[in-house]
Structure 1
Amino acid sequence: MSESAIQIIAHGSRDATEARVAEWDADPMLEGVTYSILEEDEDRGIWRIDAFPTTADEVERLVTSLKGDAALTTTVEDLADADWLAMSLSGLPPVRAGRFFVYGAHDQGRVPLNTVNLKIDAGAAFGTGHHGTTVGCLIAFDELLKRERFERVLDVGAGTGVLAIAAAKTGSRVALGTDIDAPSVRIANENAALNQAKASFVHASGLNDQKVRGQGPYDLVFANILAPPLVALSQPIRTALLPGGVAILSGLLRTQERRVTAAYTSKGFRLERRIHRDAWSALVLRRGG
């Protein structure tokens, strides 16, 4: 571990920042790094990366990658000891995504009456609902719900459980989430109880796990993870879905759309919609017969 918490910040064009994070996604030595990418100044076309390495090797690899690109300006800062998670959550505004309203405990008094309200406390898990990938998934789900219903829903890599909880609160009879991270499973189950939602979450390393197969096949599968595992899961997700079932995929950059889409269309899926939020993409694909 690094001796103190480190934050690496880079500024540059969209092309330059997206190229760097695409490089990181392809590097197995950086698979544990947390980062965000967003448009900081629309008028000037400035994008920003914030990366939070946890080891000296990750720091070195990230800095070398960023400083090797003359189009980026990079700074490295030490983070003082603090409860950064609590501080960041307290400053997050609620999010509206179609019929869904995602909020934290600090926004209890700002909840509308005419929305599907999802109270999500992140703890150590990903998915407060603020990230562009999660918002994209919720928007896609909201649009689908205007014309069809999904009895059995699976959320792969559920994190805080927000997507499976959204399914449970809009009528899905089965809303199952899986994660390879045991603390995330615990947090997701706590969030389901907090929302009085009939969603359940299990610790499972793949879609062939009996806990997953036993509830299927599914009408809809969420997978908000990363591009490489999305590609690797194209056949397992197809197997988990009923013919005509829908996959909502995210966790990928716009630059990775073609690769992920190709993996699924080769398995008989049809691309129905793309949703873009900042640099991120969500894909809606329907399985053929």
Structure 2
Amino acid sequence: MSESAVQIIAHGDRAVAEAAAAALDADPLLEGATYSILEEDEERGVWRIDAFPTTDEEAAGVEARLKAQDGLTVTVDKLADADWLAMSLSGLPPVEAGRFFVYGAHDQGRVPPNRVNLKIDAGAAFGTGHHGTTVGCLLAFDELLKRERFERVLDVGCGTGVLAIAAAKTGSRVAVGTDIDAPSVRIANENAALNQAKARFVHASGLNDRKVRGEGPYDLVFANILAPPLVALAQDIKEALKLEGVAILSGLLRTQERRVTAAYLSRGFVLERRIHRDAWSALVLRRKG
């Protein structure tokens, strides 16, 4: 943890902000960095990046990357000596995505009836449901559920486990999540228990791990990670899916759609849908070959 917690804020037009976000994603030393990008002022065309680094090294790296982007103004605010992650999460409103309602403990009394309610404790893991990539995945899944069911579901890079838990709560008999980050796996399993969902999360470095491969082939694979690993995992995701199986991919910017889509089309997938949330994209692809 950083000796003094900071929030790094950057402002610029959309092209500049997206280029800066892509630079953060491309830096291997910042692979675990948590940030958001959104349109702050539609009328003036101002976009905003908020980053919450967890170490001094990460803070220095994020600040340097953002300041290197021409046209971006960057400020660093020191946060009060408190549990700033818990404080920031407590102020987040619930998320509604189709039939899904994602909420934290502070919204226990606001849970609506007749919805698929998902109580998610983020802890140190990514995926409260508020990020545009997670919302995009849930919206895509909600639309698919209107016409088909998925018996076996895999969530690659599960974070808090929200996507696999959503699958388990909507009838999937097998819902498996995997992450290279051991604390995320622990938190995801705790969230599954909290939601009384039959989802299982394992610490694994790839889709060829026997704990992952043994439950396949899958009807649906979620992969809400980053564009480079989405491209690198294209063949592995294909092999994890049965024929006519569906991949819901996110964690990529709109500017990265073409590269990611091409990697899957070349392996026999067809693109069925795109969902855009802020600068982010979610892709729905079906394996045909």
Into which bin does the TM-score normalised by the smaller protein fall?
over 0.9
Equivalent in the alignment of 1:145: 145
1:11 counterpart letter in structure 2: H
Equivalent in the alignment of 1:184: 184
Provide the TM-score with structure 2 as the length reference: 0.96
Q: Do residues 229 (structure 1) and 229 (structure 2) align?
A: yes
- Structure 1 distance, partners of 2:24, 2:119, is 32
Change in 2 beyond 3 A, CA 1:37/1:286: same
Equivalent in the alignment of 2:113: 113
1:23 counterpart letter in structure 2: A
Q: Do residues 13 (structure 1) and 13 (structure 2) align?
A: yes
What CA deviation, in whole Å up to 9, does each residue of 1:192-215 have, x standing for no partner? 111111111111110000001110
Change in 2 beyond 3 A, CA 1:117/1:243: same
SS of the residue corresponding to residue 129 of structure 2 reads coil
Tell me which moved more, 64-73 or 220-229.
Answer: 64-73
Q: Do residues 286 (structure 1) and 274 (structure 2) align?
A: no
Equivalent in the alignment of 1:30: 30
Q: What is the count of residue pairs matched by the alignment? A: 289
How far the C-alpha of 1:56 sits from its partner, in A, is: 4.8
How far the C-alpha of 1:54 sits from its partner, in A, is: 4.3
What CA deviation, in whole Å up to 9, does each residue of 1:127-174 have, x standing for no partner? 111111100000000000001000000001111111001101111110
Equivalent in the alignment of 1:167: 167
1:149 counterpart letter in structure 2: R
Tell me which moved more, 58-67 or 266-275.
Answer: 58-67
Equivalent in the alignment of 2:250: 250
What CA deviation, in whole Å up to 9, does each residue of 1:86-137 have, x standing for no partner? 1011111111100111111111111111111111111111111111110000
Equivalent in the alignment of 2:198: 198
- Structure 1 distance, partners of 2:34, 2:163, is 21
Where structure 1 has 5 or more consecutive residues not aligned to the other structure, the ranges are none
Equivalent in the alignment of 1:272: 272
- Structure 2 distance, partners of 1:54, 1:189, is 23
Equivalent in the alignment of 1:75: 75
Alignment of 1:50-129 (within 5 A): 50-129=50-129
- Structure 2 distance, partners of 1:52, 1:101, is 25
Provide the TM-score with structure 1 as the length reference: 0.96
1:41 counterpart letter in structure 2: D
Q: State the percentage of identical aligned residues.
A: 83
Tell me which moved more, 150-159 or 37-46.
Answer: 37-46
How far the C-alpha of 1:58 sits from its partner, in A, is: 4.0
What CA deviation, in whole Å up to 9, does each residue of 1:253-281 have, x standing for no partner? 11111111111111111011000011111
What CA deviation, in whole Å up to 9, does each residue of 1:182-237 have, x standing for no partner? 11111111111111111111111100000011100000000001111111110000
- Structure 2 distance, partners of 1:124, 1:60, is 20
How far the C-alpha of 1:21 sits from its partner, in A, is: 1.1
**8 A Cα contact 2:16 2:70, kept in partner:** no
- Structure 2 distance, partners of 1:193, 1:23, is 37
Equivalent in the alignment of 1:157: 157
SS of the residue corresponding to residue 208 of structure 2 reads coil
1:130 counterpart letter in structure 2: H
- Structure 2 distance, partners of 1:55, 1:193, is 30
Tell me which moved more, 171-180 or 78-87.
Answer: 78-87
SS of the residue corresponding to residue 18 of structure 2 reads helix
2:85 counterpart letter in structure 1: L
- Structure 2 distance, partners of 1:100, 1:2, is 35
How far the C-alpha of 1:57 sits from its partner, in A, is: 4.7
Where structure 2 has 5 or more consecutive residues not aligned to the other structure, the ranges are none
- Structure 2 distance, partners of 1:146, 1:104, is 26
CA RMSD of superposed structures (Å): 1.4
How far the C-alpha of 1:59 sits from its partner, in A, is: 4.0
SS of the residue corresponding to residue 93 of structure 2 reads coil
SS of the residue corresponding to residue 220 of structure 1 reads strand
- Structure 2 distance, partners of 1:203, 1:57, is 26
Change in 2 beyond 3 A, CA 1:68/1:185: closer
